[in-house]
Amino acid sequence: MEEMTQFTWGLVNDTYKMDLILVHPPHLIALACIYIASVYKDKDGTSWFEELRVDLNVVKNIAVEILDFYENRTSISEEKYMLL
């Protein structure tokens, strides 16, 4: 569980480099990070999200935005490396 917590905190910290906070409430960004970590660590958190009465589709959409950030960041880093 500690590894998942660390992974989630890493995601949360990285969201400070994004403009998500201008569009989404902080609690939904945090839940999206938890969702990504639970999928990555192969943990089923569906019942937990249902218990919170949160729209899982909204959480998933925010999660996609976070993952898109990483994808774009990786491609930019690769392009910089190619220029060297």
**Domain locations in the chain as residue ranges:** 2-83
Q: Is 38 helix (H, G, I), strand (E, B) or coil?
A: helix
pLDDT(57) > 80: yes
pLDDT at 78: 52
Per the prediction, the chain carries an average pLDDT of 85
Between 48 and 36, whose confidence is greater? Answer: 36
CATH number of 2-83: 1.10.472.10
Q: Which residues of 17-35 are buried (b: 16+ CB within 10 A; e: fewer)?
A: ebebeeebeeebbbbbbbb
